[in-house]
């Protein structure tokens, strides 16, 4: 891939200073069983040439806010009533259709660029806008402009960062091989980013930069490649042997933990990227693989068949203090820590089918999130820890789906029947 994956990143040009959320709105979502915030997202005003972009922006923002789970979108069929309502201010008109907040904007598509100005209003206190910002970028970034606006609305009204601007990297079939792809978190704007005519698997985002590590057969034995923000692929210097697989980044992005057969059979190694030196962390005649860092960097979860079928184990980041984590099912793999580190999602096989299970780390209690519809594998968390992306064969071939962290609100992202091993990008400062 030649185009920078950073190209899409910086689009928001903030105009007005951010104001603290008013009591009436931010208070709505605190506590258990919160009430969703009712919000109206009308199409931004636009000239004839920009009408299509305006429609797409409005629909994308509505979808993003709905996905977030914090909002209830006021039915767009009510919006025309605001034009004829007798209220004194536009904001009061929006309040009359039930909206606590409304995002008003105008958009133009000129000179190959999208230019959106959007104001967020609290309909109960319409004196000043909660924010007033311009968003711009190349005209093919209309959806990302909308995602950025949605994230700003989430941030403003909930105090939580949104996830609409994140990406999902994954593996898809291409010709006879499998290449690395990425898409927006909602499954749109799918792009293939490797061309190896070979097999590539398990892309993983660096927590601190636009970098992807993944395993590749492009030169023969499976090895670890790193795709950098400049679009260049570099081979990681691993311990040797003929198998170096399943990379994961340390939270500071300076190390890669992986599995290698450099010492004979599959063991966990840690690569320090600066010194290019690898340290061996495990030593057992069994398979030790699929390592993943805890978010605080102090522990590593991994898969081992040292006690029979593969199960998830945890050790300190130095390789000491190994203890078994999973005991359910007859086969567990693909551990993923939640961003807070309090939960570990993994794939557990019972009666021949994989389901996504979440283990509560402090108590060890497990919750099955999927229920035997095909195989459900390779779960990864959204950066806010409120959603999980996973691969499922419930319709035959493997496609990617998201669900809430409690297993509800399952949404299908891909429809090719050939998408696997997703990873959700982190939010970058």
Partner 1 sequence: MKMSRVTALAIVAALTLAASGCKKKAPETVPQTTASPTPIEESKPADTAPTAAEPFPPQNVQTTPVEQSIDDLNRAGVLKTIYFAYDSNDIDQAATAILQGNATWLKGHAKYNVEVGGHCDERGSIGYNVALGDRRANAVKSYLVSLGADGSKLVAVSYGEEKPADPGHEEAAFAKNRRAEFTIKP
Binding site for partner 1 (CB under 8 A): 178, 199, 201-202, 215, 217, 220-222, 242-243, 245-246, 259, 261, 264-266, 287, 289-290, 303, 305, 309-310, 331, 333-334, 347, 349, 352, 354, 377-378, 420-421
DSSP 31-88: STTPPPEEEE-PPPEE-GGGHHHHHHHHHHHHHHHHHHSSEEEPPGGGTTHHHH---S
Question: In whole angstroms, what is the distance from residue 366 CA to residue 376 CA?
Answer: 16
Cβ proximity to partner 1: between 287 and 315 the closer is 287
Question: In whole angstroms, what is the distance from residue 219 CA to residue 160 CA?
Answer: 44
CB of 180 to partner 1, least distance (A): 14
CB of 354 to partner 1, least distance (A): 7
Cβ proximity to partner 1: between 79 and 313 the closer is 313
Cβ proximity to partner 1: between 36 and 349 the closer is 349
Strand partners, 359: 344, 366
Cβ proximity to partner 1: between 138 and 319 the closer is 319
Cβ proximity to partner 1: between 63 and 377 the closer is 377
CB of 340 to partner 1, least distance (A): 24
Cβ proximity to partner 1: between 392 and 421 the closer is 421
CB of 408 to partner 1, least distance (A): 24
| Parallel, antiparallel or unpaired: strands 376-381 and 387-395 | antiparallel
Cβ proximity to partner 1: between 50 and 421 the closer is 421
CB of 215 to partner 1, least distance (A): 8
Helix (H) or strand (E) holding 377: strand 376-381
Cβ proximity to partner 1: between 104 and 202 the closer is 202
CB of 422 to partner 1, least distance (A): 12
Question: In whole angstroms, what is the distance from residue 65 CA to residue 129 CA?
Answer: 19
> At a CB cut-off of 8 Å and minimum separation 6, what does 207 contact?
249, 251, 252, 253, 426
CA-to-CA dists, residue 339 to 51, 207, 294, 315, angstroms: 39, 10, 8, 18
Question: In whole angstroms, what is the distance from residue 77 CA to residue 79 CA?
Answer: 6
CB of 301 to partner 1, least distance (A): 12
CA-to-CA dists, residue 83 to 61, 79, 93, angstroms: 21, 8, 8
Question: In whole angstroms, what is the distance from residue 121 CA to residue 113 CA?
Answer: 26
287 half-sphere exposure, CB direction, 13 A CA radius: 14
CB of 230 to partner 1, least distance (A): 28
């Amino acid at each position: 891939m030649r185009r920078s994956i950073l190209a899409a990143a910086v689009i928001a040009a903030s105009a007005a200073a951010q104001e603290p959320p008013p009591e009436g709105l931010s208070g709505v979502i605190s506590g258990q069983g919160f009430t969703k915030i009712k919000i109206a997202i009308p199409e931004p005003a636009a000239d004839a040439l920009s009408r299509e972009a305006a429609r797409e922006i409005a629909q994308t923002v509505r979808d993003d806010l709905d996905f977030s789970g914090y909002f209830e979108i006021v039915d767009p069929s009510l919006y025309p009533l605001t034009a004829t309502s007798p209220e004194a201010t536009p904001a009061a008109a929006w309040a009359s259709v039930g909206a606590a907040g409304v995002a008003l904007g105008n958009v133009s598509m000129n000179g190959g660029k999208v230019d959106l100005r959007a104001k967020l209003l609290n309909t109960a206190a319409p004196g000043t806008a909660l924010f007033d910002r311009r968003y711009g970028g190349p005209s093919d970034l209309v959806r990302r402009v909308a995602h950025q606006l949605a994230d700003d609305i989430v941030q403003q009204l909930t105090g939580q960062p949104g996830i609409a601007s994140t990406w999902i990297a994954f593996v898809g079939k291409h010709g006879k091989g499998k290449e690395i792809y990425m898409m927006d978190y909602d499954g749109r704007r799918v792009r293939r980013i490797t061309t190896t005519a070979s097999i590539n698997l398990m892309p993983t985002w660096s927590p601190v930069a636009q970098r992807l590590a993944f395993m590749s057969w492009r030169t023969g034995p499976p090895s670890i490649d790193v795709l950098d923000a400049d679009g260049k692929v570099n081979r990681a210097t691993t311990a040797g042997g003929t198998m170096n697989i399943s990379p994961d980044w340390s939270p500071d992005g300076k190390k890669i933990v992986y599995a290698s057969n450099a010492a004979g059979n599959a063991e966990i190694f840690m690569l320090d990227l600066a010194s290019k030196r690898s340290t061996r962390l495990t030593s057992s005649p069994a398979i030790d693989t699929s390592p993943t860092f805890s978010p605080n960097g102090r522990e590593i979860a991994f898969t081992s068949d040292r006690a029979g079928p593969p199960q998830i184990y945890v050790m300190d980041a130095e390789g000491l203090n190994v203890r078994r984590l999973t005991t359910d099912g007859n086969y567990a793999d693909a551990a993923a820590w939640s961003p807070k580190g309090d939960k570990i999602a993994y794939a557990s096989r019972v009666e021949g089918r994989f389901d996504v299970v979440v283990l509560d780390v402090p108590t060890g209690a497990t919750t099955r999130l999927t229920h035997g519809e095909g195989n459900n594998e390779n779960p990864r968390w959204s950066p806010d820890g409120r959603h999980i992306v996973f691969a499922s064969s419930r319709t035959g071939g493997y496609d990617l789906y998201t669900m809430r962290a409690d297993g509800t609100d399952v949404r299908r992202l891909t429809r090719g029947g050939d998408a696997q091993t997703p990873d959700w990008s982190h939010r970058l400062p």
